[in-house]
Structures are given as C-alpha cells and as structure tokens.
Structure 1
Amino acid sequence: MIKKSLLLVALLVSAAGSLQAADMNKVLHVAYVAPENGFDPAKTTDLYSSGISENIFDTLVTYDYLARPLKLVPNVIEAMPEISADGKVYTFHLRKGIYFSDDPVFKGKKRELTADDVVYSMKRLADPKVNSPSAYLVTDNIEGLHDYAKSLGGKPFDYDKVLPGVRALDRYTAQVRITAPNSSFIYILGQIHIAMVAREVMEAYAENTMAHPVGTGPYMLKEWKPGNKIVLEANPNFRHFELTSDGSGQGVDAEIASYLKGKALPLVGRIEVSIMEEEQPRWLSFVNQQLDLTSVPFSAVSRVLRPDPAHPGRSKLMAEWEKKGIRLQQELMPEITYYYFGMTDPVVGGYTKDRIALRRAIGMSLDRMRAIRDLRKGQAVPMQNVIPRNFPGNDPNFHGAWEYDPAMANALLDEAGYRIGADGFRTQPDGSPLEIEMATSPTAVDRQWNEAWQEAFDKIRIRLRFKVAKWNELYKASTEGKLQLWGSAWTADYPGADNFLQLLYGPNSGQTNHTFFKNDEYDELFRKSLLLPDGPERNAIYDRMNRIVVGLSPWIFGDVRVGNYLSNPYVRGYKQHPILITTWRYLDLQK
C-alpha cells in the first residue's frame, strides 16, 4: 500500500455474548505523519486513510494479532473458507448477528451483515464509476468481473446481475470463483480494500462516500477535520470479541495474552488522531504523554537509542528512557522506498536509450549510503530488489540498485547526448532546455532530502526545481500521472512478493502503478507468477522481472527502514504488527 502498506487478530467472535462497553473515558492519542484522503475503502490505498478504515470496516479474514510467522484467521466468517479441490472456488459462511453501526440510512433498524453485502462489496470494486485503485484485486482474480466491467461501455453497473464469479448462495453463504488457482488470493481477502460495505449507505452518500464510512468494525467515525484531526468512538453494535491467541506464549505475547484474557474488546472508547507532519512536535508530544504511541524520529535516534550488545545490529533504549517505563519494539519494516519517474512524461519517461540513460544517471547521482547514515541515522538498509527483505522471492544476492557514481553518471549523459550548455547545465539531446521537477512536501525532513537531491543534480549538471505541496495533494496528482519525479513507499498489504511486483504491472497504471510503467514481458511474467507456488520456478520469474526493472529504470531504489516503535508505560496490549496498520482495538490505557 502506498505508505502503505496493506487489522484484527486471532480471535474468537461469539455472537451469543453481549458487548462489554468500551470505556469512553479512555482516550487513545496517536498521530499521523501525513494527511488522509478519506474513508471509502474501495477508493483509497494510502496508509493513513486505510488505517482508519480498518477500524471502521471488516474483512472476511484477518491476521492473528500475536502469531509470528503471520497467520490468517476467520474474522466475520465462522471458519476459514472452504476451498475446492482445484483451488478455484471459495465458500464463506458468515457469522450471524454481525451488525453495521447505526446510521440514518437504516431508519432506526439494526442492519445485519449478509452474503449480499459480500457480493456487493466485491462487485463495487470492479465498477468503473467507482474508479477504485484496488479494482485489480477482484478484476484480475474473480471470474467474469473484468469482462463484465469492460463490456459496460459507460452504462451503469448492474449490481443485481448474477455473475458466476461472486454470488450469494443464501443469506449467510457467499461463494467466489477465481479464474485460476492463486496462493495469494486468501491474503487478498484480508485487505481493507475488500471490506464489506452496505449498498444502501453507498447509494445514499454516493456524492461523498469518503466522508460517510459505515461498517461493522469496532469503531465509528465521530469527527473529521480533513488534514487536521480524526476522532473515532467505539461502535455500540460491535460484536462480542475476545483475543484468544497467545502467540509464542513468551515475552510480550504472554504478557498481552494474560492481560487481555476474558476481556471484551475494544477497551478504549475514543481514539483521537492528530495530523502532525513535523518530527519535532510529534516527539515532544510523546515525551509529554500527549501522544501514547509513536516511532523514534530519525532526528532523535542518537538521543534515544544505543546498540544492543546482546543482539548485534539491533538497538535498545538509553537508560533514561527505560527508567521512564517507555517500551521499544524494533523491526525491519515490511516495505520498500523508492523514487519513481512518470513514464509517460515527455522529459523523463519513455523507453528510448537516451531516457533510460537519463534515469540511470539521476539514480547514480544520489549517495544512498550517505543518506542512510545522515538522514536515516543508520536506521535503514539499502533496497536492492523490488521484493523487500524477508519476503518469499527476495534474492539476497541480487543487487539491482544503481550505485553512487557521479563520474559514470556524467559519462552516461554525455554519451546519450545530454550536452552541457554555455550556462553550465545540460540540455536535452535535441538541444532544448532540460529541467526536472521533483515533487516534495513542506516538512523539515523533506527539506533535508531536497538538499541531498539538489547536491546530486548539481553533480550531473541538471537543473532541478521542486513542486511543493501537501502529501495528499501530491498523491492525487500521482494517481493521475501528473508527477515527473516523486519519492514514495509501499508497505505490505499481505505477505506476498506480488504485492510489490504489482506496483509496476501495466494494467495497474493509475491504480497502484503510479509510474505508469508498461512492459509486455514484465506483465506476462507477473500473470504467470500468480499461478505458481513458492519455489525455484517462481523465483526465476521474479529474478527476470527485477532485471527488467533495473534495465529500464522506472524507479530509483531507496531503502528499507528500521521501525523503532515506542509506547508510553501506561499503554497495555501493544505489539506492532507487520501487516495490520493499527492495533488500537487491542490496547488499554492504565494511567
């Protein structure tokens, strides 16, 4: 997910028990580092919007909160889906007594989740009018959806039309037929983008579904000041829900399992999310216990962390923070960071030798290791592969990043015809002026990166200007293919390599493929890889796909950051999850 990234836990949901009301006097304070876009799960892929949506909506399956390695568990279904012998038919039996939060649309009646909602929600992603950036999740997999959506030709999507790929067998049974066996499909069903929504709600608020989220999850949207503040309150209709997993049964897992045993979740009645783009205010707010959770800002690393002699390569808190009872969880994030070029742009895009040379030269001009040392404060490792470390299919011996080499970069540009003019800056091969625009946000951290990039461009004699705007504004322009060069990140939605490789899949252009990269061989290999199990044959395909990306250079590989997650001493039940964006429903506050 773009910052992204990609909710619940191993749990036992009992429709029989009544909800033990969350304590409305307990208020969890957290901060986002960039603005959200809205809360229609079908229309957003950014990390910040999706993190809110996963607390409001439900998916069919979810992740065991504590289990590592990751483990999928039933969420609103009675058991994991029944899968046919050929691996193409999935049958889901919904739990009874799961209700949407109250909304005027329901006219004072409790609205139960049914199989029709599952069918509607999946069809909705394929509706061209919805224009979902996650449409590929269903159109590339579920039988008939792609062809039907393509056949509409501007006509309205008929949600009542029976399609063989997704249908309700009865009130509580839904069935999905996929076009070919796909080991990742079960994980796709856990993505918040395929959460269940109510048709009457989507139709009633059709003009602004982003501001009217109504789901079956543990929280409801109480207040929203776009780009400033988001407030969630516990959903009184939320089903009885308990944590039953004990994970490893040791350390933090044992502590959390013991503390939450027998408690109905959520425990916290209200969540207040502030948008705080600058590091310093976030850090001071955490230190003053105005924020309950945060991550260590790169600017504070030297004051907060020290090497852990018992675990080389890892860190621990300095004594003064340990004495305060603050707790640290550290892990290599399930992500990649990169800078992308707009491949349809007339200056940096295209597939001719001169444009490839230009993109490579720009990649060679940035000293990544220095950036990791100075800007990341050592809390990152170089990205060498479209597939991040610790994911199936990542070849640790594959080194795809263009290494820092300004001399080689200048030689490449000379050979490709980018001559240095009388003003000391390069022109395009046809002699026209050459200037590149990089998108950036107006934060202190971004300004540091801008300085690094300005120095890099100066070394290769190319004019650089910055397009400064809020992150959510740039994100919108990015989906429309209007940016020339922008830095981004993708956090895993599920533990599969295809979750990252699809970022460069041609048919996803304008959805998750913001670079609008298209290569027929890459696209065919991607489709082929989905049909294969984990193993040498699929890894060979991944290797070839990586080589295509390196060869054509639509991206400049960045790094994979180390996440240093902090919680104040009164926070109970907190464990960072590799896939779930938030773990708020499992937390308690004992101030």
Structure 2
Amino acid sequence: MNKHALLAMLAACAMLPAAAADMNKVLRVAMNAAETGFDPAKVSDLYSSAINENIYDSLVSYDYLARPAKLVANTSSALPTVSVDGRVYTFKLKPGIYFADDAAFKGKKRELTAADYAYSIKRHLDPTVRSPWSFLVDGRFIGTDELVKAAGKGALNYDTPVDGIKVLDKYTLQLTLTSTNFNFLSILAMPAFGAVAREVIEANRDNTNAHPVGTGPYLLKEWKPGSKIVLEANPGYRKVVFDSRPGNDPVDKAVVQALQGKTLPRVGRVEVAIIEEEQPLWLSFLNRQLDISGIPQAALQDALVIDPKNPLKVRLADKYARQGIQLQRQQMQEITFHFFNMQDPVVGGDSKEKIALRRAIAMAFPVSETIASIRRGQAVPMNYIVPAGVAGHNPAFRGAPKYDPAAANVLLDRFGYRIGADGYRTRPDGKPLAIELACGTSALDKQWNEYWQQAFDKLKIRLSFKQGKWNELSKANHQGKLQMWGMAWGADYPDGENFMQLLYSKNAGDSNAADFKNADYDRLFEASLKLPDGPERNKLYDAMNKIAVVQQPWIYGDIRVRSTLAQPYVKGLKLHPLLNTSWRYLDLQK
C-alpha cells in the first residue's frame, strides 16, 4: 500500500463514528413508586421525571462530573447570552438534531427548532394543560400574562406572538423576562422543559402522557403502568461523545477511564421495574436481577458497617465488598416533611387554636428517633426550608420545634382541646377531634405509622390512616382531599427559590401541597425573586422561614443520605445532585 492510500485509509477511519449503543446491553433498575405519565408539562413526580429526562432534551443540562453542579449547553450550541440586567436570554440551537420517528411526522425527519422550545414553554401556561410547573413561568415573560388572560379557561393561542418568547430564526430563541433573574437558566435545565413537537401533542391530544416523543438518548418501547417501563436507545440520537478531565476524585477517574472518547449512550435497553416493597427490591439486587439499587432501610445494617459514634461514617460490609459491589453516597439536596391541609376545617386555618394543634402534633413526633430507628442514622434533621448545598440555605436556623410531648399536651389544654370521657380530646367547640393521615401500603409505611400512632396517642387525639398508592394519593391531594400527608421535595434546580415556592399561595394545589396562603410570605417571596443569591435575599428567606415556624403548615422531617449500590460490572456511575438518572453514562462490562 502506498503512502497516499495509507493516509486516505487513516483519514476515513478517523471520520467513522464511535460505536453506538449496544442493544445487547440491558440495564435493569427499579423505582419504589409508580410513574404518572410522560408528558413533561403534565407530570411533576420524581419517577415520571426520571423517565422524561432520558426521552426529552432541555436547552441546557449539567456537567456529569463537576461538583458543585455546573450548567452546560445541551441542545444549544453554547450557554445563552444574557443581558446585563439579567432579563434577556438568547439561545442558539445546534442544527441537525431530530425528534424520534413518529406517525405524526408522516414519514419525514423532523428537526428540532427554536419554535419547539417556544411551544413547549407556552404549554406550561396553557390553562387546559394544567401544568404543575406553571409557577415557574407564570408572570415571568413579557406579554404572556395577556396571552393567558385572553385564553380564559380555554386553550392558549400558541400562534399569538409575545415579546417574552420570541423565535428570531429557525435556531434562535430569545426569552425576555419581566424582571431581573440571574438564576432562571437552571430552571430550563429541568426535564419539565424538554422540547416536545406540536404535531405529536395535537395528534395525541387525548392521551399525551402515554405518547412521549423527544430528541433524547432513549425512547419509550414498552409501558405497563405501575409495573414496568422499557426504554430503548434512540437510533436517531445525535452523536454525543464523552469528554471530561477528571480531578483527584477516584470515582471521576474511573468514569473517565470507562467512557472517555466513547459515544453516548452505551446501553441499548433500560428496563425499569416498579418495586414498592423493600424486601423484594433488596433480593432483586442481591440476585443480580437489578444492576443498580438504593439500600432499603431494613437492609442498611446488613449492607453497611455503621460507626455507632458517627452513623454517617460507614463502609460497605465485607461480604459485599469482596464481590466487587460498588458503594456511592451523597447527602441529598432535598427536604422531607408532613403537611397539614391548611384549608381543612379541623387542622387548617390561622387562628391561635389551630396553630396550637399543629404545633402540638409537631412537638409530639420524634424525628431524631425515626432517624435512628427507621433511617438507621442515614439522615440529618431538617430545620430550614432550603437544604444544604442549595443557594440560600441557612445552617444556623432552627425551624423544627423541640420534641416535648408533655409541653404539647399543656399547649392543647391551654387552647381548649379537652380530654373527654372516652379518653380522647375534643375540639374547642366540643365537637370530636379526629385526624386522618394519608400513607402508602408498604412495610416501611407501616413502620412510620407506628411512630405516628404513638405520637397521637400521647396527645390523646384519634388518628386514622388513609392508605393508597402514591399516584392515587397525589391525585387526591391535588383535589384537596387529604388532611395530612408526607412528602419529599428534591432540588429541581440548585436555588432556594425552588424550595421557598413550596409555600407560595399562587402554587396552592400544585407544588404548595399544604394549600398554605399567607400575604406576608407571598410579599417576601415575590421580593426575593428580584434578587440574586446573597445576603439581601437570605434575609428575606429567613423571614419567610420564621413565618413557616409560626404558622406550622409542615412538620419538618429529615434530609436523607443516599447510599447507592452497583454491581461490579457497572461502569461510569457517579451520583449527581440534580440529574435524576445516570443511565446515558453507564456501561455494562460483564
């Protein structure tokens, strides 16, 4: 072979794409609660969002390895240009990105354009869509308030031009905010703002939750609601090659060693099982029927060697370490709490006696004991609405009341909740006092219920449990039918706004699960939106937290430390504080 032929051959080889996803590689994972659907404008639960993150593409995303979390371009060619006043965001999309094939496209390849993002953002404002994420965009863009007002209770007119959401050309999107917001970009990284195609939505108007079509690395292959979800690698996914420079973190080095220079995704098929009970979940992992799994509460002492003097200091038990099983841990950017329905005639309202009732219940629940017993020490108490690791957190604030059942009973006596002849308290007006707590049906839920029953017994208050599946209870809560329920809220984006909005009155019935309405809190929250992260905004956050302490719409829970196990053959895993999944980065080398 002559020199010129050899050079030509080498050049041709250099242009070949890296190997695509291997359809023979099947990643098996599990979720402990059922999904609710796959329309990004209609679902807000973690489980559905985890799937959507892999089907749809947001304009920006997060660097997989960088800590703290770092925003990077995704379908945009670079991070947007932002005006000096923090109001105008201009995005340039990468050309040549295509939606997965669908009948709505009538046999033609459908390219992703700026108009798709404009449409997708507007859907969150459409009154007929009833997006649980509308609070993130409501009133944010110039001209959209008028557009929503014109729609009334009907559908939004998507073709009406608005100055706040402009398509400058096929690949250029310009968003103009009504006020300064330097934190807005992280909102657009959420799965909820992945691009959908208008043709697909309109062709499947009656059931958009069951027909997801995006430009992401995977597409929905099979769905048995509440049982099984199967994703397959999108054959039309654009070429994405992993390229990162690790620091000294050995996990980073292992990820780079496994993925550097390789095309993503690596795994051709992801099978997601819904396993609500802890024991079957744990056995599935031990039997290698799952490749990655969290450690169920009941298995923590089996899987980990926990330092009794410092429960957060752990290592993997020798019998699992010898098998090559991998352990990764991180304190989650989340809060857990039980809320009261603030519009309920028994536990809601802002009168002194209602506040006293909620405060007494909070004082009677032993959070430290449940952390030690149920969590096996793998959590820390919650004391502030914004958790550690999120902009706006105040580690010095103490929002949870002291555990003191005796003082709680004195408080109830003082405000007229008297103990009747049957040994249970009545309301100040003499009517029976009974409270219903919504809960799941798993063995773990039963452990929590025992602590709740003990707490209410100490207060001489009747308690009953309303059992149901997570998605069923979520629907009932949106309808205002739950009196009390427990929830967790993780960071959708790493800013305190994401958590402080949980008690904003305009979000009542959606993210404001407690249906809490307080004019002072609203005024402070709206003022905080105009400020960047810093001391001035932090003062407003402290004031809002004080209102929450006084009104007690929540009983503060804990913040969990996540332990994740992976089989020895799983490569590329690194837990991320904001990405729901790492599936596109994983490889299986059995």
Give the TM-score category using the shorter length.
over 0.9
Query: Alpha-carbon deviation of 1:569?
Result: 0.3
Query: Alpha-carbon deviation of 1:307?
Result: 4.0
Distance 1:499 1:68 in 2: 19
Q: What does residue 525 of structure 2 align with?
A: 526
> Which deviations, in whole Å up to 9, do the C-alpha atoms of 1:357-400 show, x marking residues without a partner?
01011111111111111111111111011111232222211111
Instruction: Write the mapping of 1:172-571 to structure 2, written as runs, cut at 5 A.
Output: 172-248=171-247, 250-307=249-306, 313-571=312-570
Could you tell me the TM-score, scaled by structure 1's length? Answer: 0.95
Note the residue ranges of structure 1 that are not aligned, 5 or more in a row: 1-15
Q: Secondary structure at the match of 1:73?
A: strand
Distance 2:566 2:236 in 1: 29
Seen in structure 2, the aligned counterparts of structure 1 residues 517 and 321 have a Cα distance that, compared at 3 Å, is same
Q: What does residue 67 of structure 2 align with?
A: 68
Query: Alpha-carbon deviation of 1:301?
Result: 1.3
Q: CA RMSD in A?
A: 1.5
Query: Alpha-carbon deviation of 1:456?
Result: 0.5
Native 8 Å contact 1:481 1:510 kept in 2:
yes
Seen in structure 2, the aligned counterparts of structure 1 residues 123 and 131 have a Cα distance that, compared at 3 Å, is same
Distance 1:71 1:248 in 2: 15
Native 8 Å contact 1:138 1:145 kept in 2:
no
Instruction: Write the mapping of 1:9-28 to structure 2, written as runs, cut at 5 A.
Output: 20-28=19-27
Query: Alpha-carbon deviation of 1:313?
Result: 3.8
Query: Alpha-carbon deviation of 1:310?
Result: 13
Native 8 Å contact 2:438 2:465 kept in 1:
yes
Distance 1:95 1:20 in 2: 22
Distance 1:337 1:244 in 2: 36
> Which deviations, in whole Å up to 9, do the C-alpha atoms of 1:36-77 show, x marking residues without a partner?
100001111100000000000000000000001110000001
Query: Alpha-carbon deviation of 1:148?
Result: 2.0
Native 8 Å contact 2:437 2:484 kept in 1:
yes
Distance 1:178 1:19 in 2: 41
Distance 1:508 1:252 in 2: 39
Distance 2:311 2:462 in 1: 43
Native 8 Å contact 1:91 1:175 kept in 2:
yes
Q: What does residue 123 of structure 2 align with?
A: 124
Seen in structure 2, the aligned counterparts of structure 1 residues 18 and 476 have a Cα distance that, compared at 3 Å, is farther
Query: Alpha-carbon deviation of 1:108?
Result: 1.0
Query: Alpha-carbon deviation of 1:146?
Result: 2.9
Query: Alpha-carbon deviation of 1:245?
Result: 2.2
AA aligned opposite 1:455: Q
Q: Secondary structure at the match of 2:247?
A: coil
Could you tell me the TM-score, scaled by structure 2's length? Answer: 0.96
Q: Secondary structure at the match of 1:562?
A: strand
Query: Alpha-carbon deviation of 1:21?
Result: 2.7
Seen in structure 2, the aligned counterparts of structure 1 residues 156 and 17 have a Cα distance that, compared at 3 Å, is farther
Native 8 Å contact 2:200 2:213 kept in 1:
yes
Distance 1:460 1:552 in 2: 20
Distance 1:486 1:522 in 2: 22
Native 8 Å contact 1:64 1:245 kept in 2:
no
Distance 1:548 1:264 in 2: 50
Distance 1:53 1:265 in 2: 17
Native 8 Å contact 1:126 1:146 kept in 2:
no
Larger of the two Rg values belongs to structure: 2
Q: What does residue 110 of structure 2 align with?
A: 111
Native 8 Å contact 1:66 1:248 kept in 2:
no
Distance 2:468 2:308 in 1: 43
Distance 1:337 1:384 in 2: 11
Query: Which structure ranks higher in relative contact order (CA pairs < 8 Å, sequence separation ≥ 6)?
Result: 1
> Which deviations, in whole Å up to 9, do the C-alpha atoms of 1:551-573 show, x marking residues without a partner?
00000000001100111100000
AA aligned opposite 1:321: Y
> Which deviations, in whole Å up to 9, do the C-alpha atoms of 1:254-291 show, x marking residues without a partner?
12112211111101000000000011111111011100
Query: Alpha-carbon deviation of 1:249?
Result: 5.1
Distance 1:310 1:455 in 2: 27
Note the residue ranges of structure 2 that are not aligned, 5 or more in a row: 1-14
> Which deviations, in whole Å up to 9, do the C-alpha atoms of 1:97-126 show, x marking residues without a partner?
100001111111111000110110111110
AA aligned opposite 1:454: Q
Query: Alpha-carbon deviation of 1:195?
Result: 1.0
Identity of aligned residues (%): 56
Native 8 Å contact 1:327 1:566 kept in 2:
yes
Q: Secondary structure at the match of 2:301?
A: helix
Query: Alpha-carbon deviation of 1:20?
Result: 3.7
Distance 1:482 1:454 in 2: 21
Distance 1:34 1:344 in 2: 27
> Which deviations, in whole Å up to 9, do the C-alpha atoms of 1:502-542 show, x marking residues without a partner?
11111011221111101111111111112112222111111
Seen in structure 2, the aligned counterparts of structure 1 residues 408 and 106 have a Cα distance that, compared at 3 Å, is same
Q: What does residue 44 of structure 2 align with?
A: 45
